[in-house]
Amino acid sequence: MPDCRLSARTLNEWLLSPQGDYVLSREQAYYDKKVVDIFGFNALQLGMSEHAFLRNSRMPLRMYGEEAVTADVRFCHDELPFPCESVDLLLMPHVLEFADNPHQILREVERVLRPEGNLLISGFNPYSLWGLRRKLSSKQGYPWCGDFIALRRLKDWLALLGLVVVEERFTAYTPPFNRATTLARCHFMEVAGDHRCAGSGGIYFLHAIKRVPGMRLIQPKWNKKLVGNLLPVAPKMNNNKSHNETSE
């Protein structure tokens, strides 16, 4: 993949640009609406720690972790410092496409998620106008230096780990223009995109749940004939005697 070891300052500078602000506003709206109805105790956001995508979450403990000094917890994404099955909700905004080893990150995510825990991912869609812009560019600077991961490919990775995708959505149908006025004039494409070009948005969201198969009690196969011989025989009532006693 392209060399994309970017500092937090470079990322934040791009998010302050018209392109970045356009993406950030749509992602914030999605996460604000989504996390409010997911319940639990511990929530963790990996990456983009300066942007509180967990601000609407009702969970008592909300953590923001990455390598940047602004994070609540500093760590590498492929070595999460949390016990197994300890996180109820985990957010990953644009982590995988800029990682050297996305598979290891997902393995760590699966490890720390509780059974029935929720995973929310946002990423750049390679099959969109934003993906086309990346192919035509020199792949330098954020976000064009990242390795955009196709949605189908990501879903296969999650399925191998037992993470079941329950929802997928798209946004950012507007071309990646650099001017805010041009982006505003193309706002009509957002409404049209969901109805006519679903799947071609520049940003996709995935909601996955860690499914753990329940235990099934394996009962012994009884020998009915043998069991019948071992059980005591119930005494039979004398119907004639009972009838005579009733008559008297």
Distance CA 216, CA 131 (A): 46
- Please say if the pLDDT value at position 63 is more than 50: yes
Residue 229 backbone phi and psi in degrees, to 5: -75, -30
- 229 assigned to some structural domain: no
- Domain with residue 149: its CATH number is 3.40.50.150
DSSP output for 186-224? TTHHHHHHHHHSTT--SEEEEEEEE--PPP--------H
Top mean-pLDDT range of 129-133, 156-160, 195-199: 156-160
Q: Which pLDDT belongs to residue 7?
A: 47
Q: Give the length of the chain.
A: 248
- 2 assigned to some structural domain: no
- 48 assigned to some structural domain: yes
pTM for this predicted structure: 0.79
Task: Report how many domains make up the chain.
Answer: 1
- 157 assigned to some structural domain: yes
Least confident range of 20-29, 56-65, 71-80, 182-191? 182-191
- 232 assigned to some structural domain: no
Per residue in 116-152, pLDDT (tens digit) is: 999 999 999 999 988 998 888 777 788 888 899 999 9
Query: Residue 182: which domain range?
Result: 8-210
- 247 assigned to some structural domain: no
- 108 assigned to some structural domain: yes
